[in-house]
């Protein structure tokens, strides 16, 4: 059978989601952000809630997320996405509101906002992309940087003596009663990506049922910041980040 006989609309089994705009992403080759954007777009499309979703984009590499997914967006100042999401959710309680944040944004400058949003149990979903580094600003140490990991500001490797330990945000937030769902996922393999998508679907459904804050950490790569190829970065992530940030549900009281 010829290739041209197979490439027909009726045989199509996978294509770019209609919610992903036809635009080239500015992310580096192999960046996990693109895959996470895809998961979000596919989830919104599958739940058929395009008109009811408001995303809050962060400061960091994903600042331009609003250019790629065809939904309503609001840009937040550094780390303030959960505060903005709270306001939007309270003004439009029937909308689905989610924030999309990196580790420099959420775990560092925005720690106060995320802790209090989770403590209030606001019905928002937080997508936390953790790549253990400040990607956009040139690869400086983030709160989630691993011990011994070399970055622009820890050239000899992070030491807990001077810089503390990698911060386990998901475990910390899971302690708060306002958080109904706290999970850690990754998008390095097709299986992991499909599992991560199920988590996002669950988080949106739980938001609709007003169960509380849902928090999804995605352990990701920053191959430019880590100075590796995309494939090496995925392997390095599995070998080095998973022991510190193990994938899986930390808390699930959604009943879904």
**Could you tell me the smallest distance in angstroms from the CB atom of residue 18 to another protein?**
11
100, 63 contact by CB (below 8 A): no
Closer to another protein at the Cβ: 113 or 193? 193
Closer to another protein at the Cβ: 198 or 208? 198
DSSP tag of 126: E
Closer to another protein at the Cβ: 169 or 218? 218
Q: Which segments within 95-240 are labelled E, that is strand?
A: 96-102, 125-130, 179-186, 213-219
**Could you tell me the smallest distance in angstroms from the CB atom of residue 7 to another protein?**
5
Residues 6+ apart with CB under 8 A from 235: none
**Could you tell me the smallest distance in angstroms from the CB atom of residue 157 to another protein?**
27
Residue 248 pairs in a beta bridge with: 184
Residue among 103, 105, 193, 217 that touches another protein (CB under 8 A): 193
Q: Is residue 222 a contact point for another protein (CB under 8 A)?
A: no
Residues 17-56 that bind another protein (CB under 8 A): 17, 20, 24-25, 27-35, 38
Q: Look at residues 211, 228, 220, 210 and name the one whose alpha carbon lies nearest to residue 39.
A: 220
Q: Is residue 239 a contact point for another protein (CB under 8 A)?
A: no
Closer to another protein at the Cβ: 32 or 206? 32
C-alpha 47, offset from chain centre: 19
Structure tokens at 191: 């299986």
What is the rounded CA–CA span in Å between residue 45 and residue 184? 23
Q: Is residue 241 a contact point for another protein (CB under 8 A)?
A: no
Q: Is 186 helix (H, G, I), strand (E, B) or coil?
A: strand
Q: Give the interface with another protein as residue ranges (CB under 8 A).
A: 1, 3, 5-8, 11-17, 20, 24-25, 27-35, 38, 187-190, 193-194, 229-231, 234
């Amino acid at each position: 059978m010829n290739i041209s006989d197979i490439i027909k609309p009726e045989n199509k089994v996978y294509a770019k989601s209609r919610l992903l705009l036809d635009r080239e992403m500015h992310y580096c080759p192999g960046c996990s952000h693109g895959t996470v954007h895809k998961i979000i777009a596919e989830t919104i499309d599958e739940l058929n809630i395009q008109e009811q979703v408001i995303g809050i984009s962060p400061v960091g590499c994903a600042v331009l997320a609003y250019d790629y997914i065809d939904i309503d967006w609001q840009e937040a100042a550094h780390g303030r996405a959960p505060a903005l999401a709270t306001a939007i959710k309270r003004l439009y309680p029937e909308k689905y509101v989610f924030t999309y944040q990196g580790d420099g944004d959420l775990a560092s400058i925005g720690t106060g906002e995320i802790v209090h949003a989770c403590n209030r149990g606001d019905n928002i979903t937080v997508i936390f992309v953790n790549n253990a580094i400040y990607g956009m600003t040139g690869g400086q140490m983030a709160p989630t940087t691993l011990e011994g990991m070399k970055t622009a500001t820890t050239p000899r490797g992070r030491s807990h003596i001077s810089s503390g330990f990698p911060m386990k945000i998901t475990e910390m937030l899971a302690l708060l009663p306002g958080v109904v769902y706290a999970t850690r996922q990754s998008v390095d393999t097709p299986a992991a990506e499909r599992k991560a998508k199920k988590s996002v679907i669950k988080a949106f459904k739980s938001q609709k049922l007003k169960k509380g804050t849902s928090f999804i950490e995605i352990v990701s790569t920053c191959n430019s910041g880590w100075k590796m190829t995309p494939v090496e970065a995925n392997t390095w992530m599995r070998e080095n980040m998973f022991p510190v940030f193990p994938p899986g549900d930390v808390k699930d009281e959604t009943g879904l």
